Chain A
């Protein structure tokens, strides 16, 4: 097989890989990507995007059920699970096609198959066990992503015990469901299925749901979900799952040590993810793997010269936008561009698209305190915002945390309608190293939910107007 030569070969075309490839092509590198399944990776095909499509259906369904509150009439409200899923798949398909187009437009060679390192500067590609391409590359980026983590005794069977993958394409909406894990993935599915009418139980081993979020936000969301009829068990442990006809019995030990046997139709495992480090030829290289993830430095370089790794493969936060950004940093560093900045994880916003939505950036109050900052904390509730009330979404909170000494915006935490669209404002502010003063000088448009960002800032300094 004739060897093809490239400046850069990227293994994996998730939001890390394909973005890295396009950026490399922009910078004049001859670039190839290798994809074993769908262009766009999990994010586009089995993650971020299709779940948003599902959640949108759930949201509209929820609104229809509350049509009366808006002076509207709707009878015989029902859903067609098949069509809900179909829409989600179509959205994913459309975007995957979009990635194909973008790669083509940028003259990136796309190779279908599984790539693996094969000696210094070499990559072999196989498809169904057969070699399809031999590549030589000056630089190789590993962007193979991650998959759902499985715990001993908690293995998915794809029928009764699901991972995100099955949960995204249900044949029917289960009557009852137990979600193990209350991170972003677990909570989004819990929220989706609850809004679709399932009896949902969430089991979280830590003492609160959404454990990476600010405690106040967790507590706010906790209450909101309970109000929706969700059962949330925190500080609880899943002992085992016994499948039976038509469902499973999950044994859960609650925070008080009491044993529960919970019968549900389906179980979703969402206990974190683990990097796809296998079968990519890491053996015999200097690439180091720790806790299921490839070890890299600030420039995404592995221990092996010329081999880089980005995205979920290198660890938390497991976010598409983090992967994309790392891809760009990695490629720009390879190209020797000036002013490449390492990623500052404190400036990466995180979003969870449950109802109510959660969005945050920077330090939580507890972490800021632990870091030794003197804090100014501002809070503003949705109930004080005109637009929120007009939307019929008056439940939520915007919380801002400032360093009392310098005014640095240390963190922003939000729960409520559309906050995932708002958080970028605080992310820009953080990247520009804003202090409270610039936020206060910023004119926020009225009437918008964004006004709460200003009010929360003002509140931190005892100056909120509308509360």
Chain B
């Protein structure tokens, strides 16, 4: 029997991906370990390796296909002594068992996960179970979607009375989070009252709101008469759009800015870099270390909003925004506070390199409790960054430039770097944010203390 090549699950949270490119064609001989195809998930491009020797019998999912569910058969590999007749056997054999197969090949790209699950019940079972067990972000959003669909009909319409909608609007409650008790599951006044009374729904709503709000309904129509080309929204772009829209809509941001004098830091950096070729420490590496140490000093800030609870993290995992083609990605330096400058610097370099190549594993860019975004290299003096949910803070680093400063009552020149902290006020109050920023500034301006 031909060997089935399936859509791999590249991370615990992956449920679907884009089959971006086939590197083999039907009839090619492949051996175990050969790269068969490239798969694009929400942030990374991964390669599918052949798990066996054989000949590519049939490619079932064309390249460029989006939203291919994990475990979907994407190609058939012919083993020793098999030829295309076996393929037909396999095909017809499977046809009997799964009449949907033929259709499956030409299934529309927007086939939903749910549909796939119901078509391939047996095969999809483990995945479904896995999905439930998952704690990851995408699993969470899946769950939300499922909860929402309780009251939403197949066409996505939420059945709710006008009054229920009005009340939900007034109370800032996401109506899709409410279960309807009216005729045909319609959400009516008493359901909203119950949801508001329980209070839980409201908090849930804060998390779920972006789901509803990023619906196509809010998308502006193309401007009349203007010429434009449509650029397909990549998985990464979509994730950026959803996450940052969610962030701005649901996280109450506030911003704190300090100016840090970095002359001593620059001196120290030159000194350190002059000592060895094994590392080349950047200003950004100092920033990462300073953030990590500041988070250790102000542990209240190393936390995230969890609706009914605030989650305080044990480790300081710092995400660092890296611009890559078509968007950005935030590789995570785990336990950054435990790593010395050289180790940090090398790790960051390696992560950034692979990020640019689109080769980061999901575990390498997911998670993290705080982010750093540095636009200093672009000459940006100061900016306010959008929090990377579900994190509670992000530090925006501007350019280090020579500025006139007042020192001991006299005008002087110093290298100054403006840093702006964006805080999730649900987790970080002004004082906590200020403490964090003060601690950060302390480390940056007196970098020797980072060695302690």
Residues of A within 8 A of B (CB): 339, 405-408, 432-435, 437-438
Q: Which residue of chain A has its CB nearest to the CB of B161?
A: A433
Instruction: Let me know if B296 is at the binding interface, CB within 8 A.
Output: no
Cα distance A357–B162 when bound, in Å? 30
Q: List 24 A-B contacts (CB under 8 A).
A: A339-B183, A406-B163, A406-B167, A407-B162, A407-B163, A407-B166, A408-B163, A408-B167, A432-B161, A432-B162, A433-B161, A433-B162, A433-B163, A433-B164, A433-B188, A433-B189, A434-B161, A434-B163, A435-B162, A435-B163, A435-B166, A437-B162, A437-B166, A438-B162
Q: Knowing that A433-B163, A433-B164 are A-B contacts, what are 6 other residue pairs whose CB atoms are under 8 Å apart, sorted by A's residue number?
A: A408-B189, A432-B161, A432-B162, A433-B162, A434-B162, A438-B162
What is the distance, in angstroms, from B79's C-beta to the closest C-beta of chain A? 55
Which of chain A's residues has its CB closest to B167's CB?
A: A406
In the bound assembly, the distance between CA atoms of A406 and B162 in angstroms comes to: 9
- Bound CA–CA A457/B200 (angstroms): 35
Q: Whole-angstrom distance between the alpha carbons of A437 and B169 in the complex?
A: 14
Tell me which of B162, B170, B183, B188 has the highest count of chain A C-beta atoms within 10 A of its own C-beta: B162
B184: nearest chain-A partner, CB-CB: A339
How far, in Å, is A345 (CB) from chain B's closest CB? 15
- Are A405 and B170 touching (Cβ within 8 A)? yes
CA distance A284 to B163 in the complex (A): 46
Per the CB 8 Å criterion, the residue count for chain B at the interface is: 10
Shortest CB distance A335–B (Å): 17
Q: Chain A residues near B188 (CB, 8 Å)?
A: 433
Q: For chain B residues 128-172, which have a beta carbon within 8 Å of chain A?
A: 161-164, 166-167, 170
Rounded to whole angstroms, the CA-CA distance of A410 and B166 in the bound complex is 14
For the residues of A in contact with B, the DSSP-based class is loop
| Least distance between A236 CB and chain B CB atoms (Å) | 41
The answer to whether A408 and B166 touch (CB under 8 A), given A432-B161, A433-B188, A433-B189, is yes
Query: Which chain A residue lies CB-closest to B183?
Result: A339
- Which of chain B's residues has its CB closest to A432's CB? B161
When C-beta atoms are compared, the residue in chain B nearest to A438 turns out to be B162
CB-defined contacts of B170 to chain A, threshold 8 Å: 405-406
Bound Cα distance from A438 to B164, whole angstroms: 13
Chain B residues, CB < 8 A from A408? 163, 166-167, 189
Q: How many whole Å from B419's CB to the nearest CB in chain A?
A: 43
A434 to B161, CA, bound (A): 7
- Chain A residues within an 8 Å CB radius of B164: 433
Task: Please state if A406 and B166 are interface contacts (CB–CB under 8 Å).
Answer: yes
What is the bound-complex CA distance between A405 and B192, given in angstroms? 15
Nearest residue (CB) in A for B166 is A406
Interface string of B20-41 (1 = CB under 8 A from A): 0000000000000000000000
Which residues of B272-292 have CB atoms within 8 Å of chain A's CB atoms? none
- Provide the residues of chain A in CB contact with B161, threshold 8 Å: 432-434
Report chain A residues within 8 Å CB of B162. 407, 432-435, 437-438
CA distance A433 to B164 in the complex (A): 8
In the bound complex, how far is the Cα of B361 from the Cα of A166, in angstroms? 91
A405: chain B residues within 8 A (beta carbon): 170
**Which of B164, B167, B183 gathers the greatest number of chain A CB atoms within 10 Å?**
B167
Cα distance A406–B193 when bound, in Å? 13
Nearest-Cβ distance from residue B226 to partner chain A, whole angstroms: 32
* A395, chain B: closest CB distance, angstroms: 32
CA distance A407 to B165 in the complex (A): 10
Q: Contacts of A406 on B, CB cut-off 8 Å?
A: 163, 166-167, 170
Bound-complex Cα distance A41 to B13 (A) = 68
* CA A408 to CA B188, docked complex, whole Å: 12
Q: Which residue of B lies closest to A437 (CB)?
A: B162
Q: How far is the CB of B400 from chain A (nearest CB, A)?
A: 52
CA A162 to CA B162, docked complex, whole Å: 48
Chain B contacts for A438, CB-based, 8 A: 162
Complex formed: what's the CA distance from A408 to B162 in Å? 8
Interface centre among A406, A408, A435, A438 (most CB of B within 10 A): A406
Nearest CB to that of A338 among chain B residues? B183
Which 8 pairs between the two chains have the least Cβ-Cβ distance? A433-B161, A433-B163, A406-B166, A435-B162, A408-B163, A438-B162, A435-B166, A407-B166
What's the least CB distance linking B314 to chain A, in Å? 45
The residues of A that contact B183 with a CB separation of less than 8 Å are 339
Residues of A within 8 A of B166 (CB): 406-408, 435, 437
Q: Which residues of B contact A433 (CB under 8 A)?
A: 161-164, 188-189
Nearest residue, chain A, Cβ from B189: A433
Across-interface contacts of B167 in A (CB, < 8 A): 406, 408
The answer for the CA separation of A406 and B169 in the assembled complex, in Å, is 9
Residue of B166, B167, B183 with highest tally of chain A CB at under 10 A: B166
* A377–B162 alpha-carbon span in the complex (Å): 19
Q: Give chain B nearest CB distance to A406 CB in angstroms.
A: 4
A405→B168 CA distance, assembly (Å)? 11
| Least Cβ–Cβ distance between B166 and chain A, in angstroms | 4
Q: In whole angstroms, what is the CA distance A434 to B166 when docked? A: 10
Complex CA distance for A217 and B13, rounded to whole angstroms: 64
How many whole Å from A343's CB to the nearest CB in chain B? Answer: 14
Nearest Cβ in chain A — how far from B326, in angstroms?
42
**In the bound complex, CA of A433 to CA of B183 (Å):** 13
Q: What is the minimal beta-carbon distance from B248 to any residue of chain A, in angstroms?
A: 27
Question: How far, in angstroms, from A435 to B163 measured CA to CA in the complex?
Answer: 6
Complex Cα–Cα for A339 and B185 (A): 10
- Closest-by-CB residue of B relative to A339 is B183
A433 to B167, CA, bound (A): 11
Closest Cβ–Cβ distance, residue B389 to chain A (whole Å):
30
B249 to chain A, nearest CB (A): 22
B380 to chain A, nearest CB (A): 44
Chain B residue with Cβ nearest A408: B163
A434 to B183, CA, bound (A): 15
Shortest Cβ distance from residue B393 to the other chain A in the assembled complex, whole angstroms: 36
- Alpha-carbon distance A339/B189, docked complex (angstroms): 15
With the chains together, A406 CA to B189 CA distance in Å? 11
Distance in angstroms from B157 CB to nearest chain A CB is 16
Q: Which residue of B lies closest to A439 (CB)?
A: B162
| Complex Cα–Cα for A435 and B164 (A) | 9
What is the CA–CA distance of A437 and B167 in the complex, to the nearest angstrom? 13
Which residues in window 171-203 of B have CB below 8 A to A? 183, 188-189
Nearest-Cβ distance from residue A441 to partner chain B, whole angstroms = 10
Which B residues are CB-close (under 8 A) to A437? 162, 166
Q: Quick one: closest A residue to B168, CB to CB?
A: A406
CA distance A414 to B168 in the complex (A): 30
Complex formed: what's the CA distance from A406 to B164 in Å?
A: 9
Report the minimal beta-carbon distance from A380 to chain B, rounded to whole angstroms: 21
User: Can you name the residue of chain A whose Cβ is closest to the Cβ of B165?
Assistant: A435
